[in-house]
Chain A
Amino acid sequence: MKMAKMLLALAAVTLLAVPALAADTLKVGVQAPITGSYANEGQGIENGVRLLAEQINAKGGVLGKQIEVIPCDDQGTAMAAAICAKDLVNKGVSMVIGSYTSTAAEAAQKTYYNAGVLQTSDGTADSLTEKGYWTFLRNSFPNSAEAEFAANYMVNVKKYQRIVVLSDFSTYADGLANAAEAAIKKLGGKVVSRDKIKADSQNFTPVLTNIKSKNPDAIFFAGYYTDGGQLRAQQMALGIKADFIGGDANDNPDFVKLAGSAAEGAFIINVPSPDVLPYEIAKTFIADYQKKYGEMPPSIWGLMNIDGMRAIIHAMEQNKSFDTKAAADYLHNMAEPLPGITGPIAFAKDGNRKGGAYVVKRIQADGSYANEYVQ
């Protein structure tokens, strides 16, 4: 009985507290890996969102409301992401920016969908948009688009004969690797081995030694930069002469630092990096970012998320309403794409971002990128 009273009291307090807080700000949740292996990217997303919110607030906010940023650290894991989703919904956010990994974005999707909270993530796993959730807006391009580009580059441009496809077990990496394997086979290329590594395990030499025995001329790695840099270093240490081709999540300055002198000659497939974005709006935003934080955005992923946030706010302003369903409808049916930091933004009916603009970058001796092949 006492317990029931306490619960009742607790429920009453919670019910009273939420509407009281939700009064006059537009609450924007940030779900990102602020600590953990991908902290670099997670902090980039949070910094970017805070900067954009500051800029919008300085101009009077959204339809007269100031933006309030509420961050939640999902550590890049599904478990923490599910907790974050509940927490952010309880705090009354109307949109959530992030997360960085597909795994974390996927774990949170259903909670946001049930609550009618818009979610925009740079997660590239195809499965993210296959559930039919109107709340989910992908601000990057799906894996399948990248897989087809990568397969075409490896089979038709570089004419590799023996390709190894390698990934970790995450939603994103496994999805990209499977899509790439299928695309390579469709183009008539030969996949000599499809291997998996355990992310963060550091010691990849046993797997690489097996790969060496297959005598490949290319290793396509779908996975994250923390593993990619170490894989590249250990590949060279084992004397495997194959070309290393990393998927988009290898595109991070830490890849080059981890691989050290072995980084030279590795290829990375991605959309363009922040410093080469040709758009005016990109140049201003990145300059502001550098002024505020004293460093470049860690990668293009944070900027993709910023574009997702800009699109949602644009939709709300056009609709003159904070209704999330109306905003999603507007974004799914845009006649003209919105100019973005990472290129024009428009969404397909299933929540995928339209278009695709990949480049193959080759890492130079000094660690910088040179464009090798442009779509």
Chain B
Amino acid sequence: MDIFLQQLANGLTIGSMFALVALGYTMVYGVMRLINFAHGDMVAASAFVGLTIYTQVMGQATSLGAVIVIFLLAALTMAVVGVILERVAYRPLREAPRLSAVVSALGASLVIQNGIMLIWGPRMRIFPELVPQVYWDLGGVVISLIQVIILALSLILMVTLYLFVEKTRMGAAIRASSIDQDAARLMGINVNNVIALIFIIGSSLGAVGGLFIGLYYRGITFNMGWQYGLYAFIAAILGGIGNIPGAMLGGMLLGLFNAFIAGYVSSTWADAFTFILLILILIVRPTGILGERVAEKV
């Protein structure tokens, strides 16, 4: 039982990181019908940006205030990069066949990944210990402070995002654009602004995910975006791509699935089982767990 609960805690921590990253995929897909393959690399870039802010801007300060400033600055930087990415790589191709946009996304992914390598070098960079190593032993299950922070902050961000999309006027504009861009435009919604907003929100949530990866695992490499991007992409499909609560659920479920497979079957097989799960979902329920969208509009 201890092992089960411990794997549950492990799975939820990693799952909430997947969920934060998955939101970026799902929101862009929801409005633009485009898989933003560069998103994983944006997440990796945010970890490096956060590290540079820590060493260059904050002068290696480790107070709580400094950590909050690092999060805000990194999220802001990545939001700007996200908007630039949309303007440069996706907007010119909005009317083009969908394949062109996907190829452009893959290209953007390579540009960002190699950009990180050129700026920060090919070596693994190491994050400072910004969160004190505090642990609680709850009857055999050990939970660390960083796990609690990751889980709590992820949940707060996800609930806020959900309320924003469901309850505000801007949220209604996002939902309207995701249903039908032309009709939304006729209703006086500026779809370009909505898309920019989607990239701002998705990129800054991804930035928080990237910083969590840095804080939790400490080692960051220029090519790690691929791995996390792929997992988050699977999480988004699992929950139903284009569906915001679906991405949150998909991320959590994928984290748990991974932890239990690695724990009870074999860590070697965790990736293989994840992809088998993806294939099964695509065969049995292609719209994902929460996706109710009717196939494709023509």
Report A's interface with B, CB cutoff 8 A.
34-37, 39-40, 43, 169, 195-198, 200-207, 209-210, 212-213, 226, 229-230, 233, 236-239, 254, 257-258, 260-262
| A198 CA to B224 CA, complexed, in Å | 14
Q: Are B6 and A212 in contact (CB under 8 A)?
A: yes
A-B contact pairs, 23 of them (CB 8 A): A34-B122, A36-B122, A37-B124, A40-B123, A169-B268, A198-B270, A202-B213, A202-B219, A203-B14, A205-B6, A205-B259, A206-B7, A206-B263, A206-B270, A207-B263, A213-B3, A230-B218, A237-B133, A239-B142, A254-B124, A254-B219, A258-B126, A260-B133
Q: Are B6 and A238 in contact (CB under 8 A)?
A: yes
A265 CB to closest chain B CB (Å) equals 13
| CB-CB under 8 A for A207 and B262, given A197-B267, A236-B133 | yes
- Extra inter-chain contacts (5) besides given A37-B124, A40-B123, CB under 8 Å: A40-B124, A205-B10, A233-B218, A257-B218, A262-B133
User: Does B180 touch A at the CB level, under 8 Å?
Assistant: no
| A230 CA to B214 CA, complexed, in Å | 12
User: Does B2 touch A at the CB level, under 8 Å?
Assistant: yes
| CB-CB under 8 A for A35 and B7, given A213-B2, A230-B217 | no
Q: Are B137 and A239 in contact (CB under 8 A)?
A: yes
Which residue of chain A lies nearest to B265 when distances are taken between CB atoms in the complex? A206
> B267 contacts which of A34, A206, A212, A229 (Cβ < 8 Å)?
A206
Which residue of chain A lies nearest to B123 when distances are taken between CB atoms in the complex? A39
B-chain residues with CB within 8 Å of residue A238 when the two chains form the complex:
6, 142
| A206 CA to B266 CA, complexed, in Å | 9
User: Does B135 touch A at the CB level, under 8 Å?
Assistant: yes
Q: Are A210 and B3 in contact (CB under 8 A)?
A: yes
B-chain residues with CB within 8 Å of residue A207 when the two chains form the complex:
262-263, 267
| CB-CB under 8 A for A206 and B262, given A201-B267, A239-B137 | yes
Report B's interface with A, CB cutoff 8 A.
2-3, 6-7, 10, 14, 117, 121-124, 126, 129, 133, 135, 137, 142, 144, 213, 217-219, 221, 224, 258-260, 262-263, 267-268, 270-271
| A210 CA to B263 CA, complexed, in Å | 6
B-chain residues with CB within 8 Å of residue A203 when the two chains form the complex:
10, 14, 217, 258, 262
Which residue of chain A lies nearest to B213 when distances are taken between CB atoms in the complex? A202
A-chain residues with CB within 8 Å of residue B144 when the two chains form the complex:
237
B107 CB to closest chain A CB (Å) equals 21
B-chain residues with CB within 8 Å of residue A200 when the two chains form the complex:
221
Q: Select the residue from A37, A207, A209, A239 with max chain B CB neighbours within 10 A.
A: A209
Q: Select the residue from A197, A238, A260 with max chain B CB neighbours within 10 A.
A: A238
Q: Select the residue from B124, B129, B224 with max chain A CB neighbours within 10 A.
A: B124
Q: Are A258 and B218 in contact (CB under 8 A)?
A: yes
| A326 CA to B267 CA, complexed, in Å | 48
B219 CB to closest chain A CB (Å) equals 5
| CB-CB under 8 A for A237 and B6, given A198-B267, A226-B124, A229-B219 | no
Q: Are B133 and A37 in contact (CB under 8 A)?
A: no
B-chain residues with CB within 8 Å of residue A196 when the two chains form the complex:
267-268
A-chain residues with CB within 8 Å of residue B7 when the two chains form the complex:
206, 209
Q: Select the residue from B10, B14, B270 with max chain A CB neighbours within 10 A.
A: B10
Q: Are A35 and B263 in contact (CB under 8 A)?
A: no
B-chain residues with CB within 8 Å of residue A258 when the two chains form the complex:
126, 218-219
B108 CB to closest chain A CB (Å) equals 21
> B259 contacts which of A198, A206, A212, A237 (Cβ < 8 Å)?
A206
| A43 CA to B259 CA, complexed, in Å | 35
A262 CB to closest chain B CB (Å) equals 7
| A254 CA to B221 CA, complexed, in Å | 13
Which residue of chain A lies nearest to B117 when distances are taken between CB atoms in the complex? A35
| CB-CB under 8 A for A237 and B142, given A36-B122, A196-B268, A229-B219 | yes
Ranked 7 nearest A-B pairs via Cβ: A206-B262, A35-B122, A206-B263, A239-B142, A205-B10, A260-B129, A257-B126
A300 CB to closest chain B CB (Å) equals 19
Q: Are A237 and B135 in contact (CB under 8 A)?
A: yes
A-chain residues with CB within 8 Å of residue B121 when the two chains form the complex:
39
Which residue of chain A lies nearest to B129 when distances are taken between CB atoms in the complex? A260
B-chain residues with CB within 8 Å of residue A198 when the two chains form the complex:
267-268, 270-271
| A265 CA to B7 CA, complexed, in Å | 26
A-chain residues with CB within 8 Å of residue B129 when the two chains form the complex:
260-261
A39 CB to closest chain B CB (Å) equals 5
B-chain residues with CB within 8 Å of residue A34 when the two chains form the complex:
122
Which residue of chain A lies nearest to B11 when distances are taken between CB atoms in the complex? A206
| A353 CA to B126 CA, complexed, in Å | 34
A-chain residues with CB within 8 Å of residue B123 when the two chains form the complex:
39-40, 43
A99 CB to closest chain B CB (Å) equals 16
| A39 CA to B39 CA, complexed, in Å | 25
Which residue of chain B lies nearest to A34 when distances are taken between CB atoms in the complex? B122
Which residue of chain A lies nearest to B262 when distances are taken between CB atoms in the complex? A206
B-chain residues with CB within 8 Å of residue A40 when the two chains form the complex:
123-124
B-chain residues with CB within 8 Å of residue A233 when the two chains form the complex:
218
> B218 contacts which of A37, A206, A229 (Cβ < 8 Å)?
A229
Q: Are B221 and A37 in contact (CB under 8 A)?
A: yes
| A239 CA to B262 CA, complexed, in Å | 19
| A238 CA to B3 CA, complexed, in Å | 11
A-chain residues with CB within 8 Å of residue B263 when the two chains form the complex:
206-207, 209-210
A-chain residues with CB within 8 Å of residue B117 when the two chains form the complex:
35
B-chain residues with CB within 8 Å of residue A236 when the two chains form the complex:
133
Which residue of chain B lies nearest to A257 when distances are taken between CB atoms in the complex? B126
